[in-house]
A = this chain, B = another copy of it.
Amino acid sequence: MHERERHRVILSAVQSRPVATVQELVELTETSEATIRRDIAALHVQGRLRRVRGGAEALTPPTQGGLIGRPFSVNETINVGLKRAIAREAVALCEEGDSIIINGGTTTYQMVFHLTNRRCQVFTNSFPIASHLLTHSKNSVIVPGGTIYREQNIILSPFESDVTRHFYARRMFMGAQGIGPHGLTEADPLLIQAEQKLLNQAEELVILADSSKFRQRSSLILCRLDRIHKVITDRGIRDEERQMLEDREIQVIIAETRDDAKQSASSVA
A-to-B contact residues, CB < 8 Å: 2-5, 8, 11, 16-19, 21, 52-55, 57, 60-69, 116-117, 119, 127, 130-131, 134-138, 140-148, 150, 155, 157, 159-164, 166
Q: State how many angstroms separate the Cβ of A129 from the closest Cβ of chain B.
A: 12
Q: State how many angstroms separate the Cβ of A93 from the closest Cβ of chain B.
A: 20
The reply to whether B67 and A134 contact each other, CB–CB distance below 8 Å, is yes
Residue of B nearest to A66 (CB): B135
- In the bound complex, residues from chain B placing their C-beta under 8 Å from that of A68 are 64-65, 68, 131, 134-135
- In the bound complex, residues from chain B placing their C-beta under 8 Å from that of A130 are 127, 148
- In the bound complex, residues from chain B placing their C-beta under 8 Å from that of A127 are 130-131, 134
Contacts A63-B11, A64-B69; is A146 near B119 (CB within 8 Å)?
no
Residue of B nearest to A130 (CB): B148
Q: 5 interchain pairs (CB within 8 A)?
A: A2-B54, A4-B57, A127-B131, A140-B147, A162-B162
Q: State how many angstroms separate the Cβ of A37 from the closest Cβ of chain B.
A: 16
Other-chain residue from B4, B142, B150 in contact with A146 (beta carbon distance below 8 A): B142
The reply to whether B134 and A146 contact each other, CB–CB distance below 8 Å, is no
In the bound complex, CA of A176 to CA of B8 (Å): 35
Closest 9 CB pairs of A and B: A145-B145, A66-B135, A145-B163, A159-B162, A144-B145, A67-B135, A18-B117, A4-B19, A145-B161
Q: State how many angstroms separate the Cβ of A39 from the closest Cβ of chain B.
A: 13
In the bound complex, CA of A16 to CA of B119 (Å): 7
In the bound complex, CA of A60 to CA of B138 (Å): 11
Residue of B nearest to A20 (CB): B2
The reply to whether A148 and B159 contact each other, CB–CB distance below 8 Å, is no
Other-chain residue from B69, B136, B166 in contact with A60 (beta carbon distance below 8 A): B69
Residue of B nearest to A148 (CB): B141
Contacts A141-B148, A163-B159; is A8 near B54 (CB within 8 Å)?
no
The reply to whether B134 and A148 contact each other, CB–CB distance below 8 Å, is yes
The reply to whether A135 and B65 contact each other, CB–CB distance below 8 Å, is yes
The reply to whether A66 and B5 contact each other, CB–CB distance below 8 Å, is no
Q: State how many angstroms separate the Cβ of A229 from the closest Cβ of chain B.
A: 26
The reply to whether A17 and B161 contact each other, CB–CB distance below 8 Å, is no
Q: State how many angstroms separate the Cβ of A62 from the closest Cβ of chain B.
A: 5
